[in-house]
Amino acid sequence: MKKSVKAVANVIAIFVVFSMLLGMVGCISPQQTADGNGGSSIDATGAWGDAVSDFQRNGLKGVWISYIEFQGVDFSTEENFTADITEMFTNAKNMGLNTVIVHARSFGDAFYKSVYFPYSHIITGTQGMDPGYDPLEIMVKTAHDTGLRIEAWVNPYRVKLYNHPQRLSADNPAQNTALTITTDSGIYYNPALQEVRDLVTEGVVEIVKNYDVDGIHFDDYFYPSTDETIDTANYAAYTGSLSLADWRRENVNRLIRQVYAAIKQVNEDVTFGISPQGNDDNNYSMQYSDVALWLREEGYCDYIMPQLYWGFDYRTKGGSDRYAFKTLSYNWSQYEKHDNVKLFIGLGAYRIGNGDGGYNDQNEWSCGNNLAKMIQVIKANPNLDGWALYSYNSLYGNSDYPQLQQAEISAITQENNG
C-alpha cells in the first residue's frame, strides 16, 4: 500500500491512541463472570457462519493449540478425544474468539489421515500408528459446530527437534536423507530442494481438499541454521548471481508462493497465513524469511502475524525498549502492506505470571489484564487487523498462576464483548 494523506492521518491517530492507552496506570480488576470460570455465557452452539462473518468484519481473534497441548489430550478413543477437544473449543468460544489454530503437522507427521506423512507419535505414542479415527476431521466438525473458524497449523520443514520424536516411522519421507539437513537442533527438510517444496505443497493441498478448514497456518520455522555448510552442494549447483543469503531467502520465497497459489487453486476462500518472529531482523538474517516482501506484495499470503511476546515495558539489559510491545506493535504497523494482506499480532499468554525476562519491573504480567490492554492497542491501530494468543494451556492449564489466568480470561472476554 503506497503512502498517502490517509496513511499520514492514520499515523497521527495511532500516536494519539497510544498516548491515551499507555497513560493508563494500575490494574483493572476484571469482574468474574456468571459461569465462575472467567468466561462468558456465549452460546457454544453458535453458527460457524457467525465466526466467519466476525473474522471478516472484525479480524482475527484466535488462540494457538499446539502439539504441546495435544500431549495432554486423551487420544485413546474417538469419544475421549472428541470430549477433550469440545471442552477446549467451547472455552475458546466462550472467551469471544472466532478462530482456533490447531497443529495439523508439527514434525513432518500428521494429526490426520495422509498419503504423504505418517500419523503423529503424539496420538498413539508411535509415529505412523493409525489411531482408528481422524483427529483433524473431528476438530473441523467440532470447531464449526461450536461456532469457530479453524486453521490447520503446519511446520513446513521441521522433522525432528532434538530428540522429539525419538523415532521416525519406516514410511516417513524424511527417511530419504537426501531430502533433509541435520543441525545441532534436529532434522529438517532442505529448503533448497524443489522436491521438498512439492512435498510440503502436496501435503497442504491434501488438507485443503479433504477437510473443510478455514485456513492454513505456518509459523516461524524456516531455515534452521545460518551455518554455511548445511547446503553447500546445493548452492554450488546454483548458476545464478544471488549471494548465499539471498539465495536462501529466494528458496523460502518460492515455497511460500507455491503454497499460496496451490491453496487458492483449490479453494480461494481458504486463508494462508504466516506467523514469523517478532524480531524481523532474525527473520531476515537468521531464518532467511523476507517477511516485509510477503506483506507488501500480493501472491505470498493472506496475513502475517508477528509474535510480539514482550510486555509494554520490556527493557533489554542495556535499557533499550526496542522489543517492547508498544514499540514493536507500532513499528510493524508501519510496514508497507498490500491491500489484500492483513497484519495480525501474536500475543504471549505464556508470559502470565512468569514475566518476559526483561531487565525491568515485571509487574505488568501479574496485573490480570495485560493481554486485554494489548488487544485494546491492536484494535485502536487502523493498520492492525487482529490477534491470537499463544497458547491455550497458558490460559486454561496454568496451574502456577490460576487466579491470574482467570483474571486474564475474564478481561479478554470483556474486551471481546465490549
Rounded Cα–Cα distance for residues 100 and 142 (Å): 11
Domains parsed from the chain with CATH numbers? 5-417 (3.20.20.80)
How many angstroms separate the Cα of 59 from the Cα of each of 50, 62, 247, 342, 343? 13, 9, 34, 9, 9
The secondary structure of residue 358, as a DSSP letter, is -
In this prediction, residue 398 carries a pLDDT of 86
Q: What is the largest CA-CA distance in the chain?
A: 66
- Residue for grid cell 499480532: 345
Half-sphere exposure of 151 toward its Cβ, with a 13 Å CA cutoff? 33
Contact 203, 197 (CB under 8 A): no
CA distance 50 to 59: 13
Separation of alpha carbons 124 and 37, rounded Å: 31
CA angle 254, 256, 259 (to 5 degrees): 105
Task: Tell me the C-alpha distance between 262 and 256, whole Å.
Answer: 10
Output the pLDDT for position 6: 40
Contact present, 150 and 213 (Cβ < 8 Å): yes
pLDDT given for residue 80 in this prediction: 98
Residues 6+ apart with CB under 8 A from 234: 190, 192, 193
Confidence at residue 303, expressed as pLDDT on a 0 to 100 scale:
98
Give residue 48's pLDDT: 87
φ and ψ at 258, to 5 degrees?
-65, -45
Give residue 46's pLDDT. 52
Phi-psi region of 24 (alpha: psi -120 to 50; beta: other; left: phi over 0): beta
Q: List, for the chain, all residue ranges whose pLDDT scores fall below the cut of 70.
A: 1-47
In the beta sheet, which residues pair with residue 61?
A: 387
Q: How far apart are CA 82 and CA 105, in angstroms?
A: 19
Residue 333 φ/ψ region, left for φ over 0, alpha for ψ in the -120 to 50 degree band, beta for the rest: alpha
Phi, psi of 13 (to 5 degrees): -65, -40
